[in-house]
Amino acid sequence: MIWCVWININGSSYTWAQALSNGKQQAYLAYYDSSSASLSERKYKYLSTESGLDDTAFRNKKGYWLYANQSGNLTLLGVGGSTSGQSYSWSKLRFMNSSGSEMNVTDAGINEWVGSTLKIWNVTSIHPITKVASYGFVDIASGNLNSWKGYFIWSNYDNITLLRQN
């Protein structure tokens, strides 16, 4: 059972089961399993309470994707994290490889451990007449990262860990 609270943009609150039955989000969470030594065996797997699927419980050190049918906030209870409104300086990001070596974000990019920019899914333009927003990935190479936003970074190696300095 996944214990969470889903709050949509109108402020309505739902349990996981209510959010699913009301069509607020999809039932399956996906994660990329890179544990196999064979590249052809690496694949996306699914987390679900239904038997027969790949996994039925959250796993430590895995990142999960959830497809939501509308904007809102999903809070997983008891898993920690940050509060909204916090920011963190891009320049303080650090990366560690599987051997325990660390590099700051600039050096990790220069040494091609990771891409030199983060990406965020955000508004790219607003139509002047209809006022409808268009979305796409936007590059971020400096400034502050804000809590409760989804950032993506390209890693050129397995087992690269993103660290932050407090």
Token couple for 11: 């402020």
Digit-coded pLDDT (tens) for 97-145: 888 899 988 899 899 999 888 888 888 899 999 988 888 888 887 888 8
Whether the per-residue pLDDT at 84 is higher than 80: the answer is: no
Please give the single-letter amino acid code of residue 5.
Answer: V
**Where exactly are the structural domains of the chain?**
4-76, 87-164
Residues 23-66 have pLDDT tens digits of 888 777 788 777 778 877 778 887 776 666 677 777 776 777 77
Whole-Å CA distances, 153 to 18, 19, 93, 101: 33, 29, 12, 19
